[in-house]
Amino acid sequence: MARVDFVEEAKRQGITLIASDPFCVGSYPAPQAVRICVTPPENRIILEKGLKILKELLEEGPSHTAPLL
């Protein structure tokens, strides 16, 4: 799964991620990565739900050209 697809699927499931593009400097291409920042949830149940969604998305597996950082 490409970073853009991963970000879009996470968004459909209520998780906001940022693809690596805004964090790249110069003319180097963006890596197949996303930035995950955990903010304080309203409660632990919401945090657990969000982490479970991310786990399931990761288990679907990135494309073979995408390193998992």
Q: Is the pTM of this model over 0.85?
A: no
Q: Which residue has the tokens 């945090």?
A: 47
pLDDT for position 55: 92
The percent of residues above 90 in pLDDT, for the chain, comes to 22
Give per-residue pLDDT as tens, 43-65.
Answer: 999 999 999 999 999 888 655 44
